[in-house]
Amino acid sequence: MTVELALLGIGVGTLSGFFGIGGGTVSVPVLLYLGFGIKEAIGISVTQMVAGSLMAAWIHKRQQTYSAGDVKYFGFGGIVGAAVGGILVKLLDATVLEWLFLSIVAFTLGRLAFAAPVPTRPEVVHRPLYAGIGGGVGVFSGMLGVGGSILMTPILVSFMGFPLKKASAVGLFFVMFTSVSAFVTLMWLGLINVQAGMVMALGSLVGIMLGIWLLNRVKVAHYKQILVAFYIIIFAITANKLIAG
């Protein structure tokens, strides 16, 4: 199982760096197929996201993809929201969590499919609004074991006037806050498989570097097409798992 987890970490890290996601959208369904329960899969996913998002934030800071001055308020809200979501993992039934996860993927797919890759409105800068959005997204992040960018990216593109690639980078920056908050909460609740999580985390560090390298080399129009196709695949995998039982 160690080799499988390491390879999964590399693959998830690559997708995370390229698509600006935390990785839970990929790792949670795959971990379910590997035999982990939904709550254990969420804990492993969150552990991987802590390492991957920290690496991504360092790389994007060096590349000056965005300024953290304003967007950090997304993260401040996300810290509170992710802690609340982490507690809900303990309270909610596993089946409810699985169907919520599928619903989030469906929402994201719909928003991204019709969003323009190039902004059609000015970029909104509003720190209290950023914190509010971060808090709301953070609840789902901690509750479902996803970084939050699966919701954050379409919100930034569709409603806040962010360019698609910048939105993806900011979404991954947001993951850094929510994943740390969710990790601490889930560890406190005894829902973290530390050994499995660390194996995935180490693999994801390599993947993150590869994913961001690829992101910088693809055209934005092609990037949107790839992103939509990616979400269709994740939706199909998760739906098949739930329906098949």
Q: For position 244, what pLDDT does the model report?
A: 67
Q: For position 145, what pLDDT does the model report?
A: 63
The confidence band for 198, taking pLDDT boundaries of 50, 70 and 90, is: very high
Q: Cα 42 to the chain's mean position, in Å?
A: 12
Per-residue pLDDT at 1 exceeds 80:
no
Question: What value, to the nearest 5°, has the Cα angle with vertex 154 and ends 140 and 86?
Answer: 10
190 lies in which domain range? 2-244
> What's the pTM?
0.77
Which among 199, 166, 195 is positioned nearest to 12, based on CA atoms?
A: 199
State how far the alpha carbon of 202 is from the alpha carbons of 12, 102, 103, 197, in Å: 11, 27, 30, 9
Higher pLDDT, 112 or 185: 185
State how far the alpha carbon of 59 is from the alpha carbons of 36, 88, 131, 173, 213, in Å: 32, 32, 24, 11, 10
Q: For position 136, what pLDDT does the model report?
A: 87
Q: How far apart are the first and last CA of the chain?
A: 22
Amino acid at 205: L
Among residues of the chain, what percentage have pLDDT more than 70?
96
Q: Residues with Cβ < 8 Å from 144, sequence gap 6 or more?
A: 24, 28, 42, 85, 97, 100, 101, 104
Maximal CA-CA distance, the chain? 48
Number of domains in the chain: 1
| Mean pLDDT of the region 158-187 | 86
Q: For position 100, what pLDDT does the model report?
A: 77
Q: For position 9, what pLDDT does the model report?
A: 94
Count of residues for the chain? 245
Whole-number average pLDDT of the chain:
84
Instruction: Give the burial class of 91: count Cβ atoms within 10 A of its Cβ; 0-12 exposed, 13-18 middle, 19 or more buried.
Output: exposed
> H-helix or E-strand containing 55?
helix 38-63
The confidence band for 245, taking pLDDT boundaries of 50, 70 and 90, is: low
Which among 116, 148, 121 is positioned nearest to 225, based on CA atoms?
A: 116
